[in-house]
Amino acid sequence: MELLHRDHRIVVVSKPAGQIVHRGWADDADPLLQEVRDAVGQYVHAIHRLDRGASGAVVFALDAAAARSLSDAFARGEVDKRYVALTRGHPPAHLVLDYAIPKEPGGPRVDAVTELWCRETFGRYALVEARPRTGRLHQIRRHLKHLSCPLIGDVKYGKGEHNRLFRERYGLHRLALHAAQITVPHPDGGELEVRAPLAADLTACLDALRVDYGQPS
């Protein structure tokens, strides 16, 4: 865990891949919430989810009123989240995808919207920026699969042969999804924008891809 921002109402940290945010979402012994609580020396409120396999920015509140304010902002769609993803296949240069997906496993489909940019390509693979405008379970992963551009390292929605290739050739043993930036309305007014540097394993993978495909790093 890396502490990215702290003030008297909000803490933002960068979660490593493979760690859950809250013990209630799984039975792991070392959830991020407990680690943040220990690091700041006080109770913290988890505001939103980030997939276990993903890395990047996660917001916590330091008091109940801040937690309500931030949770309401998420519910109203006032939070801007930007993700970096590595995909098999190239999405369009820019696309706003409006495609309903189940709200929960086996549940009814609900509206889901993701804005996507294809930022760089490496042969059959692509570096994608994703901005989810709604907050559905596995939304980015499901939307990229719908576009036939599944995430590398995604064992649920991706392609096993490409996941194996990236493990063996590039040493990438995780979901290639990183929450790179988040902008939230601060409970005290104004906006808070926090960036999470790209995780080291993803940086190394991208550098190797650029070498393999003759592109500058």
Q: Report the catalytic residues.
A: 51
DSSP tally for the chain: helices H, then strands E: 5, 12
**3-class SS shares of the chain: helix, strand, coil, % to 5:** 25, 35, 40
Is there a contact between 17 and 41 (Cβ–Cβ < 8 Å)?
no
Tokens 């495909």 -> residue: 213
Residue 115: other Cβ atoms inside 10 A? 14
DSSP 16: P
Phi, psi of 65 (to 5 degrees): -65, -40
Q: Which residues of 23-55 are buried (b: 16+ CB within 10 A; e: fewer)?
A: eeeeeeeebbbebbbeeeeeebbbbbebbbbbb
Element (H, E) at 183: strand 177-185
Q: CB–CB of 22/35 below 8 Å?
A: no
> Which ranges constitute the DSSP H helices of 76-199?
139-146, 160-170
